[in-house]
Amino acid sequence: MDKKIYTNKENKSQILEAVDEIANPIIKTLTPKGGNVVIRNNNGSIEITNDGYKTISSMAFKDTIKQAVLELIRPASIKTNDIAGDGTSTTVLYAKTNIHEGFKLIDDGKNAMDVCSNLDIISESLCNEIKKQKKEVKTDDDIFHIANTSSSNNKEIANNVLKAVKISGTDGMIFLETNNTPETEISGEVGFLIEEGMFSQHLANQKGKFTAMYQDIPVLITDKRLYYEDEVVSILEGAEKIGYTKLVIIAQDFIGQIPNMLLSSHLDPKVNMNILMVKAKDENTISDLSTYLNCKVVSEKRGSIKGKITNEDYGIAKKVYSDPKKTIISSKNEGAPVPLQLRIKAIREQIEKTSGQEKKDFEKRLACLTNGITTIKVGAHTTGELQEKISRYEDAINATRNAMREGYVIGGGICIYNAFKSLKMQNKGIPDGFERLLYSLSTASLKQIAENCDIHYKTLLEKAKEKVGYNAVTEKFEDLIKSGIIEPLNVPIMTIQNSISVAKTILSSNYMILEDVEEDKQTKTQ
């Protein structure tokens, strides 16, 4: 397919039209008074949401320029959500503001690259002022209010997130599952999670259930794919010599005749050995679990383990639970042994350095090594309601955990406006000729809140000067901190940084090299 060179100067109106078309459905969802968006998913199902992340993720355009602008804005807004746990819609709002105001400055004669370098100054100045407003999460009320704000004032979700967070702690893991009933249920397990269940349902020992439960049980961990019968005999004989009558074997895999051999031993009353087989294919899982239980890994590097199993190769778990989908292992160790402390510290350092899926993987590992797992089984009457509730739970959980780590600030658009007022009072951090852009950016949320809530913008702005904001739920002007309208510190920080980043990309680009729009249309009609 041929490509065409588009100049941004000639196509500025199309770029701005694309920005508005992308932004408008998203920014209209802001606040509890904001409306929903109806989305048809790829599988043909209809979903109703007020979630900016889902809305922008579902967008696509036939027009080449619009699609290109979407592909620039979408990653920036999603990055905010991935790191801060919220703020997708506000990132899009600020991107729209920065792009419009940036083009105005260029039209007034400013050099595009100078505009971009000054946007960096504005970003740093605003973020530094916002950090000065930070407060620490200290009470259950703080947690509830952050979850409530992020879930668009759904008190049921906020209360359930509070319960889940209190069970799992700062570093624990919270899973969302669908419930078969309209009710939502919360359950917590302290322990190390392996996302693999028992190797066979015949290993279950709970009457009437496909689950296994053991207390004070030895665990042997190996990174081997168990295939040779003499190696498994060594494992069982080693356990028998110590006097164990039950054993959990964690291995990379069980192949050949090994599953039948171990299952026969488990089911044969003459053998007197209850066995639980669990696969763990990931090297990090195997290594982390051995550190968690303070025992060794029977390594592939040893070669054949026939006759080489010793007492030191068996760790002891306080409790082991396994079902067809997952296994949870609790440690008997009082406190954290030094190797475990060092591993936790190393993983926390990696969390600070990474983002996206890699960061989530490290967070999952940290949860397994610290507080454990909480599951929220979300119930609803319809599929649409269920999807919407899960989306709100995700936002509330992410925002709450982020605030617990980083602190929180006032919401309702007041935080960034306070930062602007502070910069103006200090007469610093505002590049010459950029006060209009900074003012538009710092009041963008207030304007959108006023529009979505059908209130007078100038009244809201006057109240904001007195550090009073609009509570869309009570429909009153209030002290938003006391009302619990708060958000994680990282949300305004990331919305500013990521919106300015995408604005710089668009403003500094003189050309776009894209598929020819006319040829693209002709190709699709043939």
Report the pLDDT value the prediction gives residue 259, as an integer from 0 to 100.
93
15 and 97, same domain (yes or no): yes
Residue 173 lies in a domain: no
Residue 159 lies in a domain: no
302 and 213, same domain (yes or no): yes
Residue 41 lies in a domain: yes
Binned at pLDDT 50, 70 and 90, residue 1 comes out as low
131 and 197, same domain (yes or no): no
**Entry pTM:** 0.73
Residue 62 lies in a domain: yes
User: What is the helix (H) or strand (E) element at residue 417, kind and residue range?
Assistant: helix 414-426
Report the pLDDT value the prediction gives residue 409, as an integer from 0 to 100.
95
What domain count does the chain have? 2
Measured from the Cβ of residue 37, the count of other Cβ atoms closer than 10 Å reads 19
Domain boundary among 294, 313, 334: 334
CATH code, domain carrying 272: 3.50.7.10
Model confidence at 19: pLDDT above 60? yes
422 and 299, same domain (yes or no): no
219 and 109, same domain (yes or no): no
**490: buried, middle or exposed (CB in 10 Å: 19+, 13-18, 0-12)?**
buried
DSSP-derived secondary structure letter, 424: H
Domain boundary among 296, 318, 334: 334
111 and 16, same domain (yes or no): yes
User: What is the helix (H) or strand (E) element at residue 35, kind and residue range?
Assistant: none
Mean pLDDT value across residues 108-126? 95
Radius of gyration of the chain (CA): 28
314 and 238, same domain (yes or no): yes
Model confidence at 524: pLDDT above 60? no
The predicted-structure confidence for 444-492, as pLDDT tens digits, reads as follows: 999 999 999 999 999 999 988 887 899 988 999 999 999 999 999 999 9
Residue 160 lies in a domain: no
CATH code, domain carrying 446: 1.10.560.10
Residue 288: give the domain boundaries. 193-334
Residue 254 lies in a domain: yes
Residue 353 lies in a domain: no
Mean pLDDT value across residues 417-430? 90
d(C-alpha 284, C-alpha 499), whole Å = 36
Domain boundary among 277, 300, 334: 334
Residue 184 lies in a domain: no
